[in-house]
Amino acid sequence: MATPHIAAAPGQIAPTVLMPGDPLRARFIAETYLEAPEEFNHVRGMLGYTGRYKGKPVSVMGSGMGMPSIGIYSWELYTVYGVEEIIRVGSAGAYAAELKLFDLMLVTGAYSESTFAKTQNGSLDEILSPSAALTARLRATAQTLGKPLAEGIVHSSDVFYQDEKPGTPYWQRLRDEKGCLAVEMESFALFHNAAATGKQAACLLTISDSFTSPQQTTAEQREKSFTGMMEVALEALP
């Protein structure tokens, strides 16, 4: 049955969902990679499609920006539509100088100062882990495809525009004290919802900009050029 946010009928969504933040990136993945993609959602402009990749069923749907948004969509996918695993395919800003534009990062943990998990079920964990088996599958697939991966902890932030105070920048403290290699805004909530519902979640990121360099990608590049992580996620389908 439909939810207030997803219009799909039962059976329209595959057990595995790729979830970029940008709904236009979801459409790009569907139109570029999937066989006979069919749209199952456009409520609030959050596009979702189901098709097949090399004969395997898969869905792709945007999550929107931030933990509240991905929290809603991932929860409904897991609990209403029977989705078993969600692979976030998103962008991130590098905190670590060794991460360059278009590098791929496999997230091994998400740190957040957010109250999302505490509010949802009382969890006080500040670092949440992805599903080990799904993460291992993505790692093995990347190795098979010859695509190098950086691995590490990401900062899932509630704030895009930080009001910096004098002294050491906040991002640098998170890098040095928490071990965060990059920043994005969704993985912590996704990992929490997967654990809370007994489902699987993992995250592949493409570096889109850097806190240690003025270089950054364009909006069109973020929509259409982050193909490496898309291909790893699709080739890792069960």
Residue positions annotated with a catalytic role: 209
Whether 49 and 37 have beta carbons less than 8 Å apart is answered as yes
> Which residues, other chains included, contact 95 with Cβ-Cβ below 8 Å and sequence gap of 6+?
155, 171, 172, 174, 175, 180, 181, 182, 183, 211, 212
**DSSP result, 137-159:** HHHHHHHHHT---EEEEEEE-S-
Closest CA to 195 of 86, 90, 107, 92: 86
- Cα 102 to Cα 4, 63, 150: the distances in Å are 35, 21, 11
10 Å CB burial of residue 135 (0-12, 13-18, 19+) is buried
Write down the H helix ranges in 17-169: 23-33, 67-79, 116-121, 132-145
